[in-house]
């Protein structure tokens, strides 16, 4: 099931917090259903934190790392999640003649970086705790949706009851592709000519690792207080 909110079309978000507040309104039906909210660092965690706060939900992260081409590291040929789930752009891989050995080597290298960053954030991806639960994956927007797609494939392996892909903004074709992976897709803005995610925000500053750590710490604190 896909839900697009055309009432927001043509508008811009003030910042990621504002986007998270509006996204939470669109996800209000999940409050009281014990969902898990996973943000894609770094910007997606800011949006996810607002969603988790409004839904009284657990907040975590899912880190996706790009696999770059051998001679053009800025050119993404695929992406990998922390449980090893891999998505490749087969057309680009074939065009550049990239070997399986290179892909596997990069997959291992990026997995090591993912684990390092999880430790740095003091975060858990809640492995073993997603089965049978509703998992809401949040980013601050998507162009091609590559990171969101890998996240969905990774989470699917953990057998949740439902996966919800929640995005403030994405092109219609990207939202459709995400939906085809079996995720309920909630998207507030679906401009046909996205150009860049940041153009749909009035303020779109770089998010730091320190900010991500603080948001996760605050969420753990709320969870601890609720359990007392």
Q: Cα angle vertex 133, ends 167, 5, to 5°? A: 25
Cβ 45 vs Cβ 125: under 8 Å: no
The secondary element (H helix, E strand) that includes residue 169 is strand 162-169
Q: pLDDT tens-digit profile of 32-56?
A: 999 999 999 999 999 999 999 999 9
Q: Which domains does the chain have, with CATH numbers?
A: 2-63+122-227 (3.40.50.2020), 65-120 (3.30.1310.20)
- Which segments of the chain does DSSP mark as H helices, in order? 16-26, 43-55, 90-96, 100-121, 146-156, 172-179, 209-227
Q: Which residues in the chain come in under a pLDDT of 50?
A: 7
């Amino acid at each position: 099931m896909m839900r697009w909110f055309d009432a927001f079309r043509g508008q811009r978000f003030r910042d990621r917090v504002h986007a998270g507040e509006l996204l939470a309104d669109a996800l209000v039906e999940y409050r009281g259903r014990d969902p898990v909210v996973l943000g894609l660092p770094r910007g997606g965690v800011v949006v996810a934190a607002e969603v988790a706060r409004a839904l009284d939900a657990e907040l975590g992260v899912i880190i996706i790392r790009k696999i770059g081409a051998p001679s053009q590291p800025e050119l993404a040929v695929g992406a990998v999640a922390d449980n090893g789930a891999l998505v490749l752009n087969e057309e680009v891989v074939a065009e550049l003649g990239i070997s399986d050995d290179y892909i596997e080597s990069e997959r291992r290298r990026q997995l090591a970086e993912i684990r390092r960053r999880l430790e740095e954030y003091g975060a858990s991806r809640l492995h073993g705790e997603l089965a049978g639960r509703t998992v809401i994956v949040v980013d601050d927007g998507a162009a091609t949706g590559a990171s969101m797609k890998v996240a969905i494939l990774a989470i699917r392996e953990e057998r949740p009851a439902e996966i919800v892909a929640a995005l403030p903004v994405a092109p219609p074709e990207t939202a459709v592709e995400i939906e085809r992976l079996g995720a309920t897709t909630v998207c507030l803005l679906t401009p046909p000519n996205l150009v860049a995610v940041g153009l749909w925000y009035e303020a779109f500053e770089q998010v730091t690792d320190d900010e991500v750590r603080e948001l996760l710490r605050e969420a753990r604190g709320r969870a601890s207080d609720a359990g007392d």
